[in-house]
Chains A and B, each alone.
Chain A
Amino acid sequence: MREITLDSITDDQLQSEAQLLVNMLRVKYPKLDLRRGTVLRDLLVDADAAVGAWFAAQADEQRLASSLLTLSERAEAGEEIDEADVNAVLSNFDMKSVSGTKARGYVRVLVSSGDRTHTVLEGTKFRTVDDVFFSAMWDVSAATTPSGDQVKQYATGTGTFWYLVPVEADEPGANGNLEQGLALEPATALADFVSASSYAAFSGGSDLEELDKTVDRIKSSLSVRNLTSSTAVEAQLRDRYDSGDNPIVAVSVCGYGNAAQRRDKHNLFGTAVGGRADIYVRNFTELPIADNQSHTGTVVDREYDSDETRDFTISIPHDDTPGGLFVYSVSDPDSNALASYAFTVDYSGDVSGVWHDFKTDGDDVHELANTVWRDFTITVKGVPVTGEELAAGEKEFRVVMVSLPAAESLQEYVDDGLVRNVASDYVVRGPMIVNMSVNAVVRYRYSTGFDVSRAVAEICQYVNNTGFQGRMTRSEISAILMDLGAASVDLFDENDMLYGYVYDAYGVKHELTGDALDLDLVENPEAMLTADTAVFVLEPKNVHITTMAV
């Protein structure tokens, strides 16, 4: 709530209050001259009028701060809203707004020497050129030959060495979700320091929930708290997770009658019998990259023509990366390149000890898609190897996996005996992710300019906060660009403004392109790919805006 002081009160408010007092006093004491310039005016009217006006302004402010509608209008007018005021109103509905979260990631610190141990203490700050600050989450001690709690210091082959420091943003916000390879600078001197950059894309940062989205959530919050309807499921999950590190963005429940629900058709006739529900959860506002990226690949046992390259398989069991959605890239651990080895992925899973109803048939484990029970086996061919790696029959890889944050926690929660619906079998799945890119030519007036960085940020913010809407159109993106001052938005190339790809439950890649990315065109309910199961994600590096001044 805004603090009301005498400076907040206008002359009109004061005069209005003064007039009220004059009228009241003259009824009781008509002989007192209370006109301007009299001593009695100063003594009896002015001071009390100031106090009265202050109280009236305070009451007015309390009234305005107790309405989500007026708070929302103020926010739209550019006024800063106190989160405490919003939560005070929302407490009437037993809910609160989703606080922003802090981004996390790894900083790759390059040093000039590997002869000694390098230490970065907890709390050591790193900053970007835009003054976004990050702090080391714990003490890191790096050595070429690590022991105990030390981390490995890798040689680049050019005389320098590098190691990783886990960091967290100092402030909540999506601006902490740095792209891979972004330069960072330590706030204090580090021994043998050469440079620092983001090792992989940072994730987990989100802005404070916008007020209109909070208002939209009220209806689910008012619903009954049990897993009996879509609204109730969403309310139950929001209750539990909205105040944590991975607040819910959107939920889609595919139950009886939904085409994407495959698990209630395990009968001779393949008809739906109910009793099963798949809960697709979006609790991320950027591509959710799994933390664990270091994996060991094993040489595929076959005949090779030379000792220069080998094929490797990399196993990523579900325990290692629960809730895995798809493999994003496979590369060498000491490579900062954005490229990836070509790879194929096979899926497997053992549900013998799982009480949920899954039908698996040999290699066909599509019903485990995006759950906490699916295992990944990645095959990479023609990878250059060193003598050591050849002898060991193993090689370290950096495997970037996209996985549902807090997948295990979500599944455990809906399985909790005190929470689960005793009449149904609920499984939590990460959504099918349509990884988008946007290409546009923006024409703007030279006198007004056009902020490309802001456009990229706002387009990503918009897309990454959508739910299971099934369609993303050029119009939605163009509207954002026009609001930011574009005179016109043209296609980068004919019918090529939007592009996206999505993997279905079988791991088959589907591509979409055009003025709209419409999931109806690639819909495959048997592969659990429908508008009810997929969401759109847009990374800043995939937004290409060409500007032209007119």
Chain B
Amino acid sequence: MPRATTRSYAGRQVDLELLKHIEETLPKQPVEPDVVETPRIVSGIEKAVQRYTKLFLTNLGSVRLDTTIGNDLLRGIAEGRVQNQAELDHLYSEANAATLDALSIDDEDTDVYGDIPDDERIESTTLENLELVYDSMTGGRVKVHIILTTAAGNDFRFIIPVAAGVT
């Protein structure tokens, strides 16, 4: 898949950076929230990944103002519903579908939010791997390996680490 080469985001809508700076040149990288002294803005693929990740990790019903946003992935893992890979795959599929639906509500409302460039519009996502990492000290993690494909044809691989309490 050809990568996007432009880095000029002039005229783009921007958001505040929430996750660690996402380097396109690295083949795959984990994205995690971080606090820095100098706040940054994001646009383009960074914003797309950030939006996806933020909604992907939102528990259904936890947003008071919009109780339809979110999914049961984190809650399912925390409640111990994940007994095997198949169940984890199933939870992921549901969470992914819910996230893409939530993104599309506003993406398609161009009258209000304006047109968005193809490299910010998420066409599809693919689950590359779901990794259960056991750690008796920290309780372990679930690492969700995702390939995000934009409408511009870019692929972006990233890992969402989710604290799972798995021991």
Residues of A within 8 A of B64 (CB): 6, 14, 50
Residues of B within 8 A of A26 (CB): 112-114
Closest to A47 in B: B65
* Contact across chains for A31 and B13 when beta carbons are under 8 A apart: yes
Chain B facing A: main interface SS = mixed
Asked if B151 is an interface residue, CB under 8 A from chain A, the answer is no
Closest to A36 in B: B106
Asked if A46 is an interface residue, CB under 8 A from chain B, the answer is yes
Residues of A within 8 A of B106 (CB): 35-36
Asked if B78 is an interface residue, CB under 8 A from chain A, the answer is no
* Contact across chains for A49 and B65 when beta carbons are under 8 A apart: yes
Within 8 A of B (CB), among A1-60: 6, 11, 14-15, 18-19, 22-23, 26, 30-40, 43, 46, 49-50
Closest to B47 in A: A33
Among the listed B16, B17, B51, B54, which residue makes an inter-chain contact with A43, where contact means beta carbons less than 8 Å apart? B16
* Contact across chains for A15 and B66 when beta carbons are under 8 A apart: yes
A40 to B14, CA, bound (A): 9
Q: Contact residue range for chain A?
A: 20 to 34
Q: How far is the CB of B102 from chain A (nearest CB, A)?
A: 6
Closest to A50 in B: B65
Closest to B67 in A: A11
Q: If A26-B112, A26-B113, A43-B16 touch, does A35 touch B65 (CB 8 Å cutoff)?
A: no
Asked if B22 is an interface residue, CB under 8 A from chain A, the answer is no
A19 to B13, CA, bound (A): 18
A19 to B106, CA, bound (A): 11
Asked if B105 is an interface residue, CB under 8 A from chain A, the answer is yes
Residues of A within 8 A of B13 (CB): 30-33
Residues of A within 8 A of B14 (CB): 31-33
Within 8 A of A (CB), among B33-90: 43, 47, 50-52, 54-55, 63-69
Residues of A within 8 A of B12 (CB): 31
Asked if B18 is an interface residue, CB under 8 A from chain A, the answer is yes
Q: How far is the CB of A40 from chain B (nearest CB, A)?
A: 5
Closest to A35 in B: B106
Q: If A26-B113, A30-B114, A31-B14 touch, does A37 touch B65 (CB 8 Å cutoff)?
A: no
Asked if B123 is an interface residue, CB under 8 A from chain A, the answer is no
* Contact across chains for B15 and A36 when beta carbons are under 8 A apart: no
Q: How far is the CB of B3 from chain A (nearest CB, A)?
A: 23
* Contact across chains for A36 and B55 when beta carbons are under 8 A apart: yes
Among the listed A6, A11, A19, A32, which residue makes an inter-chain contact with B112, where contact means beta carbons less than 8 Å apart? A19
Q: How far is the CB of B116 from chain A (nearest CB, A)?
A: 8
Chain B residues with a Cβ under 8 A of chain A: 12-18, 43, 47, 50-52, 54-55, 63-69, 102-103, 105-107, 112-114
Q: 20 more A-B contacts (CB under 8 A) besides A14-B65, A26-B113, A32-B13?
A: A14-B66, A18-B65, A18-B66, A31-B12, A31-B14, A33-B14, A33-B113, A35-B106, A35-B113, A36-B66, A36-B69, A36-B105, A37-B103, A38-B16, A38-B50, A39-B17, A39-B18, A39-B50, A46-B65, A50-B65
Chain A residues with a Cβ under 8 A of chain B: 6, 11, 14-15, 18-19, 22-23, 26, 30-40, 43, 46, 49-50
Q: Can you pick out 23 interface pairs between chain A and chain B where the beta carbons lie within 8 Å of each other?
A: A11-B65, A11-B68, A14-B65, A18-B66, A19-B112, A23-B112, A30-B13, A32-B13, A32-B14, A33-B13, A33-B14, A33-B15, A35-B51, A35-B113, A36-B102, A36-B106, A37-B50, A37-B55, A38-B47, A39-B17, A40-B15, A46-B65, A49-B65
